[in-house]
Structure 1
Amino acid sequence: MFKFIKQKLANIAQERELTSETTDLNPTISKREYKGSFVLGSLSFGHVLIHWFQQLWPVLIPSIKSGLGLSNVEIGTLTSVRQFAAGPLLAIPSGLLADLYRRRTAIILASAFVAFGLSHFLLAKVPNFFWMVPCVAFLGVGTALWHPASMGTLSRRFPDRRGTALAIHGVGASIGDTIAPIAIGFLLLSVSWRGLLEFHLLPALLIALVLWVGLTPVYRNQAGEETKPTFRSYWNDVKDLMSSHVVLAIIAVNVLTGMARLTTMTFLPIYIQDDLAYSAFGLGFFWALLHIMGAISQPVMGYLSDKFGRKAVLLPALILYGLLYLALAIAEPGAQLITVIVALGIFFYALVNVTQATIMDVATDQIQSSTMGITGVFTQFLSLPAPILAGYLVNNYGTESSFIFAGVVTLIAALVLFMIHVPRSNRPTPKILG
């Protein structure tokens, strides 16, 4: 690990030296590199905040369940509704919007936070399961707006280092996923879940304003250098993408791993707080453990997939990932449980970036944002029944059965990937982004 970091620092120093030598000869290059770093930094930091909001739901699940007297199946249904809004319902429209209106990307990104603030505020007011369904669906709008726009931007700006750029963006998610559960769990010791949700409205609106003001000039200037695609050419590129056997196989992998992840996000909090009798703060601690390793593993896996190929990273990772889910079902509380959850965190979100980079490698430039939506429709829609099915398993066989289910479907995903050929892209050896 230290060798890896040392090599990256050397690459950064070398790039800065080369940049300083060429600034006088070609100031446009230096300006473009600065813009690239600014965009990458802004979107990665924004991703930290996006995942703060996304972590509100899983950490609050036990409190909401007990507060409203919901069953396991009802909780599983709400998680599926949330994913449906973030995926099948809005994935294609949000991706199309981001690709066809790149000059307005800053507005799209800001709107994601407006949606998060309003949806959580409304969720705090619901009296029962019936009214919770539309409010939980609204929670998915912010996720649907942010990810196609931000990841499409990075994929186009860093085509030779796509895996690395998406991974750095993913580090923001890991940081948010690590900090938020601990902070939210701590706040729940003294604040009700309704009060906590209401509080998030004002910060969300302020963040939206900052993003809109800060990023509008960047996207407006960038869009002047690009040609807006026609709908016919856009549709032809979409059809070509969906005819690729690599894309279809990766969608299958995403469906299966998405089923495992959704199941875990729904029932691991219940297992920790209800079955093992940890406090809300204890739940936040364990939930943070699940995400903290992603801050390290995501850039490493992204870089390695750029250098050695996507499949070389994905296949062994999927096998280990599936085995760790199975281990979660038998881990004893304490050191064993902590070890397994930390190890799971290496893959929990890092694999998403590598599979997405694999699909973006196949896609043309003008549908980069839409790849999130196009593949997300299938991935999210087909994985939606998983929490509901897991809810029935939990009712009949205990919470541990949900982790066994997650492990089995993840190992099936590894088998699917094993059976296909994923070609290496003809790109130069990637450099670390500076």
Structure 2
Amino acid sequence: MQQRTFLTWFAVGHLANDWPIAALWLIVPTAGIAMDLSPTEIGLLFTLINVGGALAYLPAGIVADQVADRGRLLVATFWWVAIGYGVAAAAPGYLTLAAMLALAGMGNAAWHPIATGVLTRRCSEQPAQALGIHAIGGSLAEVLAPVSVGLLLAHLDWRAALAVCVLPTLLVGLCFPRVARAVPRVEKTAVRGPDMAELLATWRRRDGLRLVAMICLYNMALMALLSMIPLYLVAAHALTPAAAGFVFSALLLTGAVAQPFVGRLSDMAGRRPVLVAGNLTAALAGAALVLQPPFAVMLAAMTVAVAALDSIRAAMLAAAVDRAGRREATTLGFAFALMDGVGALGALLAGIAAGLSWPHMFALAAGLSLAAAALGYATDFSRPADAARR
């Protein structure tokens, strides 16, 4: 299979796997309103969902680095996602819903380190660009799923809408086995203690710890914005779920389109300038939102903040692969676990801040982005092998 077709199918697979979880940006606030939940409880629900999914990232990455036929693992994730979210639609209460969504999210989580590990190995000369093309699928899911689910919620309750949202996953899951056969087989290797110790040592060094902290703060800022913006639009501006879905999707569109280009830019110009600029831009836009400007200005500032963070995601992941140098799937599993595990605390903190006021919530997101930019400026993004030669 030609590389362009291969990359396109992986982007489509990413879109289908992320479709139900992207729909949650609208379904969870709608379910929260139906259940009479507070902003803090809604933020906690997002955090529990993402922490549950984060538990699968690292194990999936380790397994992918040991299994020769990784295509079969990718096919399995579609069925886990479709069945998991379909069952979650029947959850009877808050805690049961959180548990079922977290379990379903594990299937979605498993896709990411396996798929990105395959791509970074196949496209080793331009890993960030390949990750950016793959990321388009997830970003388009976040753009299109809220629009579709917003329209569904005008006619269905949140349970029926969630059940309908698994259909794209089922459809692509039926088509993906042919693509899976084109995934290059790799030599089956066992995880050895010295290898894992060396990998951990890489992250325990000063710049490794800075990169870990930057990844966490970056995604905390992004999660804070994404988890609260739909609720903000409905609660503070009285938008309908359908209107909020259209606005939220429009916010994500710019970042979705920019990801492969920003990824390629980071391959050529280096990780630091791209990551610092993206986080700093988001911090400035978040600071503007603290002032609660007129609606049109507010939408523009939210678009800039979300797009700036979303567009640098591929560069962030490529920086993690650069740091480790090998065992791509394990490294990416670790990076995704940081983003959606520790980073998911941003949703909880944003919910608490929104309980005080909406300016507090936007100030939190701006502060987290600013801290990530500062860490990015202080971090040496050289590959360890390159640093050793200097």
Match of 2:346 in 1: 386
Match of 2:27 in 1: 60
1:107 aligns with 2:72: yes
2:333 corresponds to which of 353, 373, 379: 373
CA distance in 1, matches of 2:143, 2:66: 34
Whichever residue aligns with residue 22 of structure 2, its letter is Q
Q: Shift of the alpha carbon at 1:285?
A: 1.3
Match of 1:227 in 2: 187
Q: Shift of the alpha carbon at 1:136?
A: 2.1
Whichever residue aligns with residue 41 of structure 2, its letter is E
Match of 2:372 in 1: 413
Structure 2 unaligned runs (5+)?
A: none
- On the 8 A contact 1:50/1:143 being kept in 2, the answer is yes
1:403 aligns with 2:351: no
Q: Label 1:359 to 1:246 Cα distance change in 2 as closer, same or farther (>3 A).
A: farther
Q: Label 1:426 to 1:234 Cα distance change in 2 as closer, same or farther (>3 A).
A: closer
Q: Give the secondary structure class of the aligned counterpart of 1:47.
A: helix
1:151 corresponds to which of 113, 116, 120: 116
Structure 1 unaligned runs (5+)?
A: 1-33, 428-434
RMSD: 2.2
Match of 1:96 in 2: 62
Q: Deviations over 1:1-38 (max 9, x none)?
A: xxxxxxxxxxxxxxxxxxxxxxxxxxxxxxxxx53223
- On the 8 A contact 1:272/1:278 being kept in 2, the answer is yes
Q: Shift of the alpha carbon at 1:331?
A: 4.0
Q: Shift of the alpha carbon at 1:310?
A: 0.7
State how 1:185-334 maps to structure 2 within 5 Å.
Answer: 185-211=150-176, 213-219=177-183, 222-223=184-185, 226-232=186-192, 234-334=195-295
Q: Give the secondary structure class of the aligned counterpart of 1:349.
A: helix
Q: Deviations over 1:142-191 (max 9, x none)?
A: 33111101111110011111111111111222222222211211121112
Q: Shift of the alpha carbon at 1:110?
A: 2.1
- On the 8 A contact 2:259/2:313 being kept in 1, the answer is no
Q: Aligned residues: percent identity?
A: 24
Q: Label 1:168 to 1:244 Cα distance change in 2 as closer, same or farther (>3 A).
A: farther
- On the 8 A contact 1:249/1:420 being kept in 2, the answer is yes
Q: Give the secondary structure class of the aligned counterpart of 1:348.
A: helix
Q: Label 1:375 to 1:203 Cα distance change in 2 as closer, same or farther (>3 A).
A: closer
Q: Label 1:316 to 1:69 Cα distance change in 2 as closer, same or farther (>3 A).
A: same
CA distance in 1, matches of 2:167, 2:344: 31
Q: Shift of the alpha carbon at 1:139?
A: 3.3
TM-score (norm: length of structure 2): 0.92
Larger radius of gyration: 1
Q: Give the secondary structure class of the aligned counterpart of 2:182.
A: helix
- On the 8 A contact 1:310/1:424 being kept in 2, the answer is no
Match of 1:25 in 2: none
Q: Shift of the alpha carbon at 1:133?
A: 2.1
Match of 1:75 in 2: 42
TM-score (norm: length of structure 1): 0.83
- On the 8 A contact 2:75/2:180 being kept in 1, the answer is no
Q: Deviations over 1:58-82 (max 9, x none)?
A: 1112210121222222211111111
Q: Shift of the alpha carbon at 1:202?
A: 4.7
Q: Shift of the alpha carbon at 1:381?
A: 3.6
- On the 8 A contact 2:147/2:245 being kept in 1, the answer is yes
- On the 8 A contact 2:20/2:162 being kept in 1, the answer is no
1:84 corresponds to which of 28, 46, 51: 51
Q: Deviations over 1:296-335 (max 9, x none)?
A: 3212211111111111211122111111122223343532
CA distance in 2, matches of 1:209, 1:328: 44
Q: Label 1:298 to 1:376 Cα distance change in 2 as closer, same or farther (>3 A).
A: closer
CA distance in 2, matches of 1:202, 1:172: 16
CA distance in 2, matches of 1:318, 1:202: 35
Match of 1:8 in 2: none
- On the 8 A contact 1:85/1:144 being kept in 2, the answer is no
Match of 1:347 in 2: 308
Q: Shift of the alpha carbon at 1:408?
A: 0.5
Q: Deviations over 1:345-389 (max 9, x none)?
A: 322322221111011123233x10111222334444433433323
Q: Shift of the alpha carbon at 1:90?
A: 1.4
Match of 2:10 in 1: 43
In the comparison of the two structures, how many residue pairs are matched?
A: 385
Whichever residue aligns with residue 399 of structure 1, its letter is W
Q: Shift of the alpha carbon at 1:426?
A: 9.9
Q: Label 1:72 to 1:46 Cα distance change in 2 as closer, same or farther (>3 A).
A: same
- On the 8 A contact 2:113/2:336 being kept in 1, the answer is no
Deviates more, 1:386-395 or 1:151-160: 386-395
CA distance in 2, matches of 1:263, 1:210: 35
Q: Shift of the alpha carbon at 1:234?
A: 4.1
Match of 2:382 in 1: 423
Q: Shift of the alpha carbon at 1:399?
A: 2.5
Deviates more, 1:327-336 or 1:414-423: 327-336
CA distance in 1, matches of 2:153, 2:181: 39
Q: Label 1:331 to 1:297 Cα distance change in 2 as closer, same or farther (>3 A).
A: farther
CA distance in 2, matches of 1:308, 1:128: 50
Q: Label 1:214 to 1:244 Cα distance change in 2 as closer, same or farther (>3 A).
A: farther
1:139 corresponds to which of 104, 110, 124: 104
- On the 8 A contact 2:47/2:347 being kept in 1, the answer is yes
